[in-house]
């Protein structure tokens, strides 16, 4: 009840912010800027934006094939496209579509959901790891090449980067070192008789899941490294978005430092927001930053709107695939997926 109410209120708030921005910057100026960009550039922009789904699908496909899951690259791409509408609409830091992807791959390939889930966990870790690594590199280059920050702010940024790096290293060590974090937590709960009647079955499933994750990370390091290298390329497509947009404007260009700020700001806003798709917040951030650095608030708002055109295109494709493959009830959370034990391994 409260979750649905929060979702509705956050959606209304986001849509209100999205609709307000054009009137703040001027509707006429906004559409004139989009017209200057041109439909060809917008088409290229949409194609580049799709790489944030297509490239991670390739890395995930590499992991699944190494696990022995007989999945085609096209099926992996379709699963990522179907997961995007749920990731976008559900405020969950882009993790909402994973159950649907598990159901779809397990049905198509006739494998247990735990086998698929293990590869998804590793693939998601690689996505976040690649994103954090690219943000660290972008921020470090920004600090090195510019004098935007005071020494105190630079020290704070470096400290944040070190914390993020340490967290990624700790998670990777947990995967590779076979620490069995899930099993440890379950044993702790069982010791205090918390849900003890379910603990044994859950513990067995968690042990199998963590064993498969460990195999994907530590037992096949070359496969893991290849998938990680491929997945990191998706961050490049995000970095190129403002360059593709602003280079299409006849009298405007942006420097490398501004590309870095756009990149970091885009990822931070999309990661921390509880509003579906960062609606309103993303537009306000891009508009505010573009106005602050002299690019023009209408240029920042137009950049955000073109991003939304790309989002809408991918949402329509993903939504059509969900309906086409009969997964609409799973996407709405109204249908339970088949029990993992009933699916042949």
**What does the pLDDT look like over 154-175, one tens digit per residue?**
666 667 667 767 776 776 666 6
Contacting residues for 288 by C-beta, under 8 A, at least 6 apart: 297, 300
Characterize 17-27 residue by residue with b for buried, 16 or more Cβ atoms within 10 angstroms of its Cβ, and e for exposed. bbeebbeebee
Question: What's the pLDDT at 185?
Answer: 59
Characterize 262-276 residue by residue with b for buried, 16 or more Cβ atoms within 10 angstroms of its Cβ, and e for exposed. bbbbbbebbeebebb
pLDDT band of 335, cuts 50, 70, 90: very low
Q: What percent of the chain has pLDDT over 70?
A: 72
Show the tokens assigned to 129: 């790891």
The better pLDDT of the pair 188, 12 is held by 12
Q: Which long-range contacts (CB under 8 A, 24 or more apart) does 139-142 make?
A: 139/260, 139/264, 141/256, 141/260, 142/257, 142/260, 142/261, 142/264
Over residues 120-166, the pLDDT tens digits come to: 888 888 888 888 888 888 877 777 776 666 666 666 666 766 776 77
Question: What's the pLDDT at 48?
Answer: 94
Over residues 36-86, the pLDDT tens digits come to: 888 999 999 999 999 999 999 999 999 999 888 999 999 999 999 999 988
Asked if 106 and 113 count as a contact pair (C-beta separation under 8 A), the reply is yes
Q: Is residue 196 predicted with pLDDT exceeding 60?
A: no
User: Residue 250: CA atoms inside 13 Å, Cβ hemisphere, count?
Assistant: 5
Mean pLDDT, residues 190-213: 60
Question: What's the pLDDT at 10?
Answer: 75
Contacting residues for 95 by C-beta, under 8 A, at least 6 apart: 87, 124
Mean pLDDT in the chain? Answer: 79
Beta strands in the chain (DSSP E): none
Q: Is residue 223 predicted with pLDDT exceeding 80?
A: yes
Q: What is the DSSP letter of 342?
A: G
Q: What percent of the chain has pLDDT over 90?
A: 26
Q: Is residue 336 predicted with pLDDT exceeding 70?
A: no
CA distances 29 to 35, 114, 296, 298, Å, are: 10, 52, 10, 6
Question: What's the pLDDT at 190?
Answer: 59
Q: Is residue 13 predicted with pLDDT exceeding 70?
A: yes
Over residues 266-307, the pLDDT tens digits come to: 888 877 667 777 888 899 999 998 888 888 889 999 999 999
Question: What's the pLDDT at 248?
Answer: 87
Question: What's the pLDDT at 328?
Answer: 81
Question: What's the pLDDT at 342?
Answer: 38
pTM, 2 dp:
0.81
The better pLDDT of the pair 8, 155 is held by 8
CA distances 85 to 111, 189, 241, Å, are: 24, 35, 21
State the Cα–Cα distance between residues 256 and 262, nearest whole angstrom: 10
Q: Whose CA is closest to 60, among 107, 111, 115? A: 115
């Amino acid at each position: 009840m409260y979750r649905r109410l929060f979702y509705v209120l956050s959606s209304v708030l986001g849509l209100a912010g999205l609709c307000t921005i054009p009137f703040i910057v001027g509707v006429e100026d906004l559409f004139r800027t989009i017209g200057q960009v041109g439909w060809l550039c917008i088409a290229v922009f949409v194609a580049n934006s799709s790489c944030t789904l297509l490239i991670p699908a390739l890395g995930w496909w590499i992991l699944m094939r190494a696990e022995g899951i007989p999945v085609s690259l096209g099926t992996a791409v379709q699963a990522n496209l179907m997961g995007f509408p749920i990731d976008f609409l559900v405020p969950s830091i882009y993790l909402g579509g994973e159950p649907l992807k598990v159901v779809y791959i397990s049905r198509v390939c006739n494998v247990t959901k735990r086998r698929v889930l293990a590869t998804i966990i590793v693939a998601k870790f690689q996505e976040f790891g690649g994103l954090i690594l690219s943000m660290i590199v972008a921020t470090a280059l920004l600090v090195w090449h510019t004098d935007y920050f005071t020494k105190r702010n630079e020290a704070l940024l470096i400290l944040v980067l070190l914390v993020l790096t340490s967290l990624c290293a700790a998670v990777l060590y947990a995967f590779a070192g076979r620490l069995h974090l899930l099993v440890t937590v379950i044993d702790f709960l069982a010791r205090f008789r918390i849900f003890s009647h379910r603990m044994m079955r859950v513990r067995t499933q968690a042990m199998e899941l963590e064993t498969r994750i460990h195999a994907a990370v530590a037992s096949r390091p070359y496969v893991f490294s290849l998938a990680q290298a491929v997945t990191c390329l998706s961050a490049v497509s995000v970095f190129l978005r403002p360059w593709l947009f602003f280079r299409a404007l006849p009298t405007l260009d942006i420097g490398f430092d501004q590309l870095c700020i756009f990149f970091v700001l885009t990822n931070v806003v999309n990661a921390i927001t509880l509003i579906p798709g960062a609606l309103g917040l993303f537009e306000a951030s891009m508009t505010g930053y573009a106005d602050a650095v002299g690019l023009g608030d209408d240029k920042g708002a137009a950049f955000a709107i073109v991003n939304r055109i790309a989002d809408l295109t991918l949402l329509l494709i993903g939504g059509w695939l969900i309906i086409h493959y009969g997964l609409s009830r799973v996407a709405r959370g109204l249908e339970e997926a088949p029990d993992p034990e009933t699916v042949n391994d």
